[in-house]
Structure formats: C-alpha cells, structure tokens
Amino acid sequence: MAHIPTVDIRQLGDISFDRQLELARQPNRDYDVDRWLFVPNTYTEYRYILGTRGEKPLICVGINPSTARPGALDPTLKSVERIARNSGFDSFIMFNVYAQRATSPDDMERTCNPELHRENMRAFAYILSRTPDPVVWAAWGTIIEKRDYLWPCLRDMIALGEAAGARWVTCGKRSAAGHPHHPLYLRADAVPEPFDVAAYAAAGETRAAAAARGRRRRI
C-alpha cells in the first residue's frame, strides 16, 4: 500500500528527535527494540531512522521514507539489507535527505519544513556519532531533482559527515548527470565504491540554479 501524505507534520505535536529517540528505546510490542532502531517508534507521517543494531552499520541515504517499518521492509530496504550484509557490514541504517513519509516523491511537500529538517539532521548526527569510521551510502537516484530544497538539505548532511570523518560510497552505475544508483534496481553482487559527494552536490546545485533561472525567464 502506498503512503500519501494527508497530515501536515506541524500538527503532530512534538517531533523532536531527542524525544522520539527516547521513546524508541523503550520496549515495544510491535518489534524487538534490541534488534531494531526505529525513530519514531510508530508508523506516522515522518521517519528519521529505520535500521538494525550493530557495531558496523552501512548508513544508507535515500531521499524520503516510504512504508517500511521493522519486520515489514519494502523492496528497497530489502535490497539495502542485502547489500550491507554482502559487503561485510553487520547491520544497516536507512536514513533520508528529507524525513517526510511519501511513497511517491511527487507527493512531498513543496516547501521545506525547517523544524523537520533540523530534527532530521540531529538524527543524522546521532547516527554518525555512534559509528566509528562511518560509511555513508548515497542511494537516492534521480529523485533529488524533485524538490529544489533537497540540495541544501543534502549540503547540511555533507557538512555533518565531514565533521564525523564519514566516507561516502555508491553502488552500481551512476546516471549521466552523476546521480547515485537507487538500491531497488541493483544487482545482487553490487559493491560500494568511493563517491565524491561534495563535488556531486556542487554540480547538482549549479544545474538546479540554472534551471530555476530558466523557469523565471519563461514566466
């Protein structure tokens, strides 16, 4: 079943990462909290983290979450789990550039919710701080072009990664524009390869700015 946003996240009360992490550490009848890290710990309109617990996780970054939850991974997350296992990691963490849950990126909100983004970055900083020598897998495909605000969000993630000494990788062939491959369509034997995410983001923002100027001229 697809997830189509129907509620403004601003109406959901306390969405702070610290509070949602606190709740996620408590016993949950729906899943094993000793195996899973799921923040928030219930299915709702946004998701900061979904993954398994371990000492050496592969941190995968998509654009925005869909319907996956502990024990009910969607095809994308099953692929992430497989690649992590086959590449020598003992666990995986699924993260996203933007935390709003929507199966179709076309349904993402048109403007960035600054509170949601701020708390999402706190979640990313938390994961990086827990992981010695973090490996971050860029895995969003061409979807980053869906919203202009995704590039600045990614830039904030890159800065946090640099501060934590993160090593960025991709899996599979990149697009003509340099976009990293989406996990869903990867070969089973795909392996992580080094990725210059800062250079990629700079080129992407330049293209996005040029496209925005073109749109303004046509109006």
Residue 122, pLDDT above cutoff 90: yes
Percentages helix, strand, coil for the chain (3-state, rounded to 5) are 40, 15, 40
Q: How confident is the model at residue 104 (pLDDT cuts 50, 70, 90)?
A: very high
Compute the distance between CA of residue 61 and CA of residue 197 in angstroms, rounded to an integer. Answer: 12
Tokens (6 digits) for 170:
């991709």
Question: Sheet of 167-171: strands edge to edge?
Answer: 36-39, 49-52, 91-96, 57-62, 135-138, 167-171, 192-194
Compute the distance between CA of residue 108 and CA of residue 8 in angstroms, rounded to an integer. Answer: 11
Average pLDDT over residues 162-191: 94
Return the pLDDT at 207: 85
**Helix spans in the chain (H):** 17-24, 75-86, 114-129, 150-164, 197-218
Q: By three-state DSSP, how is residue 66 classified?
A: coil
pLDDT digits (tens, 9 = 90+) for 167-180: 999 999 999 999 99
Across 158-162, 192-196, 208-212, least confident range: 208-212
Return the pLDDT at 26: 97
Which comes out higher in pLDDT, residue 219 or 70? 70
Q: How confident is the model at residue 46 (pLDDT cuts 50, 70, 90)?
A: very high
Q: What are phi and psi of 34, to 5 degrees?
A: -80, -15
Q: How many CB atoms lie within 10 A of CB 66?
A: 19
Q: How far is CA 152 from the centre of its chain?
A: 14
Compute the distance between CA of residue 129 and CA of residue 132 in angstroms, rounded to an integer. Answer: 8
DSSP 8-state code for residue 181: P
Residues found in the chain: 219
